Structure 1
Amino acid sequence: MEERIRYLLRQYENNKCSHEELEELFGYIRNARSSDVPLKRTVKKIYDDIRKNHPSFTYVDENGRLILTEPEQAFLPPKEAISGKNIKAPVWMILITGVVMIAAVFWIMRKDKPGNHATFRAGGIALTKKFSERSEQKFLLLPDSTEVWLNAASSLEFPDEFAGNKREVVLSGEAFFKVKDAEGMPFIIHTGKVSTVVLGTSLNIKAYPGERAVTVSVSEGKVNVKRNGNIVAILVKGQQVRMDNAGKKVDEKNIAASKVAAWMQGNMIYDDENFTDIIADLERIYNVNILISNKEVQSLHISTSFRKDTGISQALLTLCRLTGTKLHSGDRQFEIQ
């Protein structure tokens, strides 16, 4: 077991953890009890060994808590050719950031960058706000062990502890949720006037301010999607609903599991999406500014897909070929004519 934990931590350190390996690492941590002294000593020993070669990666504080900071280099998936067709998802590679809770034993956490979190009060309840910057993805583990992956330029507000008969969070942007099942305590995700109610479910929600639609996609379980308290859709595994800002159901359809949170796998898949919304997505993901001077293409709907690691220039060239426009570029500044 010691060698296996060492391997998983090395994978984490190098940002090479697959989704399955990440789940296995969390499993070792969550299943450990405070009385499980041998396991705690084993993990501490491995951390101490890693610290000798990488002092910035981990350390043990004065309270005996194991502290894990994220590596500086972000993960870049293998390069792949651009294609206008759907791309088969590779191994689930993600960049892990945020606070990781170790149930009943200790906490493993990274130091957040300055300005990446804030605490405030709403309705008498203290809420914490975590957010990702442009071109950044962040992992969060909530007080109930629900796992959340934030996409670029997104935020999530949640209490330090869920109390009462429901769990409520507020999302702005895009995130994938793996909700921890809790009998009698529905998990409610608020995105403006739209709320998504789940129990034990895995789903992706895209609700960036200013975009034309809110999209909810389900990979496991069942959810109720509401607007102003009225049910808009009931979704199960492999279903998706898109609503415009007026609450009208734009589209409800079946969706492959690999497409529910394709962004986590480095795939950028757009199915009949508005051109300006796609451009806004690229601005967030690559942290660039893109001007659309050709007004005729703004209302177009595009279906295409490409790998994130193809880069912003190739992604825009693909869109320009599809729309018959031209691309002009400067220092992180692009114009579509």
Structure 2
Amino acid sequence: MDHKELHDLMDKYMLGTASREERSRLLTWYRQQPADDLVWKLEAGEDEEQVRKRIKANVWQRLEDPTQRASKAISRTWYLGAVAAVLLAVLGFAFWKMESPSATNLIAETPTTQVENRFVLLPDSSRVVLRPGSRLVYRTDFSGDSREVELIGEAYFDISHRAGQPFIIHTGAVKTVVLGTAFTIRANPNDSDVQVTVQRGKVRVERDNKTVAELTANQQVDVHEEADKTAPKEVHDVAETAMRWAAQDVSFDWQPFGELTAKLERRYGVVIKFKNEKLANCPVSGAFSGIETLDELLPILCTTRNATYRKEGKIIEINGQGCN
């Protein structure tokens, strides 16, 4: 989004003429900025004024040429204050209602430069695999009437069932509601469409609180910006293919143990060491579904090399004999 387009969207919002999609674009723009200053990283107890100041400084940095700030300071001060107010309003539906003193929001992110996917175990034991360049925002607990997360990019979800507490994924203006199922969602920032593919179970896809499609196993839908209703299509082979990428980091054949653990470190966000460095050169083979936790995967891997492991927090040490 260029400078002029952003100004136009802000003006429309302040005049009350911005559509839901345009408000969503403002939210997407802000989320695409570096994560260090993002509003959803606030700690419980941080008040709205602190967030407003942080957003204002963030927007100033991104909108203004540092060499021109002095001459424009007076004319831009009101505007940037309004930008902060607008962003708080836009972010409100997706963030403030999720914030509470007892629970903060967490962010899981996979850098675009990373080859491996990122595995995330949610507080309700639901499992998510993020593709590189994707971001997931979720709460440290799911104690409310619903379990809500926000996604930018592409992710595979395997959701645990909780009666009376639906799982909801926000992707801009599109909302996917599930009770317990496995599916993928692709909602890249540069794409106008959101694609949902269901492997098993059933989901409901909404936009602006209106149902646009209901999907069951082996169905897929592309939700367009303008369409009120979208018919799902049968995708038996495509559904399998859409899920296959989630397992690409944990399917390996005769790979050195050290190379594999380097991938697992990036996938699970841990540090893995070898007490006996010779073990790192030993080949291992295996094929997993892609939704295993590290605690489920490690015992099997170690068994193949007659090795053991010890885990303390995010530090894991593997011990065993080397190989010839």
TM band (smaller chain)? 0.3 to 0.5
TM value normalised by structure 2: 0.44
Compare relative contact order (CA 8 Å, sep 6+) and give the higher one, 1 or 2.
1
- Give the greater-gyration-radius structure (CA): 2
TM value normalised by structure 1: 0.42
Structure with more helix by fraction = 2
